[in-house]
Amino acid sequence: MEQLGKEEVKETSGSELRTVLRSLRRSRTATFGLIYVIALVIVAILAPIISPFDPYAQDLPNRLQPPSFPHILGLDEFGRDVLSRLIHGATISMQVGLEVVLLSLLIGVIVGAISGYYGGWADMVCMRVADIFLAFPSLVLAIGIMAVIGPSIFNVVLSLVVVSWPYYARVIRSQTITLKKMDFITAARAMGASGRRILRTHIIPNAIPPVIILATLGMGSAILAEAGLSFLGLGVNPPTPSWGIMVASGRDYILQAPHMVISSGLIITITVLAFNLLGDGLRDALDPRLRI
């Protein structure tokens, strides 16, 4: 009986994935987002192999050189190759984005599922705490935390998780509340399944799909937030190549070497845009009623 149920779920989720992919392909903008994100993941992983120069190697006599061959995007204020630094910066951005999204999702799933399934005082406490974090403008709270704990990649991830988990918790909670009223949960409970088992095998797997949209959009915001914190000198420590730091250092040479500011800012914009386009596409594919 249980075996049968499982197979059924697998089959529908398989065809669902195909439907989602087909729907994504139909939208040109979502396809662009998907291809760009896949390409960026590959660039981030293969950065040490594909980057044409060492991102830390300095060529001081030629510093601030405008784009030319072989330095396609020019050199920065220490004579480092801008393209190579952008490629290595992709690794940092993707790492921060993924870690922030996965950790926020983990906390959000635990808090949201418990809150939604058990209700009562557990729900009250969890949601009031979430409300307090949501009351802050998120980036302002992240800036405040970073100002105190000091810049590092780990701290950036920590501060961004602190400000973003409540969004995931709220979505998971409302999903859980909808799901727990459904017949198959009642059936599982009638068959004697424990609350923990119901949560783990029935509710959480079914509550995840809508969160995928949030996670995709969350990748874009986390990358944007990391760039912002690094721009203020509160994020990643130099000389680590971060896109935000590259915009900040380009600011000091904006007249002599505008290529530094333009290239690094453009890559942040296109990356965040790609995640937003993909997130929009997923929303249309997963829930046509929410079409924006």
Partner 1 sequence: MLEYIVKRLALVIPVFLGVSAIVFIIMLNTPGDPVLVRIGLDPNVSPEKIEAARRELGLDQPIYIQYFKFLARLVQGDLGNNIRTGRPVAQDIMEAFPRTLILAVTSILLAIVIGIPAGIISAKKQYSVFDNITSVGSLLAASMPNFWLALVLILFFSYWLKLTPISGYGTPIHLILPTIALGAALAGTVTRFTRSSMLEVIRQDFVRTAKAKGLKESIVTFKHALKNALIPIVTVIGLQFGSLLAGAFFVEAIFAYPGVGRLAVQAIQQKNYTVVQGAVLVVSISFVLINLLIDIIYAYIDPRVQYE
Residues that bind partner 1 (CB under 8 A): 29, 128-129, 131-133, 135-141, 143-145, 147-150, 220, 224, 227-228, 231-234, 244, 247, 250-251, 254-255, 258, 261-262, 264-265, 268-269, 272-273, 276-277, 280, 291-292
Given the structure tokens 């409970």, which residue do they identify?
189
| Nearest distance, CB of residue 244 and partner 1, angstroms | 8
CB closer to partner 1 out of 91 and 263:
263
CB closer to partner 1 out of 118 and 133:
133
* Residues ≥6 apart with Cβ < 8 Å to 187: none
CB closer to partner 1 out of 6 and 26:
26
| Nearest distance, CB of residue 207 and partner 1, angstroms | 23
| Nearest distance, CB of residue 117 and partner 1, angstroms | 20
CB closer to partner 1 out of 204 and 246:
246
**How many Cβ atoms are within 10 Å of 20's Cβ, its own excluded?**
17
For Cα atoms 260, 261, 263, give the angle at the middle one, nearest 5 degrees: 70
| Nearest distance, CB of residue 277 and partner 1, angstroms | 7
* Residues ≥6 apart with Cβ < 8 Å to 121: none
CA distance 181 to 173: 13
What b/e sequence results for 142-176 when a residue is b if at least 16 CB atoms lie within 10 Å of its CB, and e otherwise?
bbebbeeeebebebbbbbbbbbbbbbbbbbbbebb
| Nearest distance, CB of residue 195 and partner 1, angstroms | 26
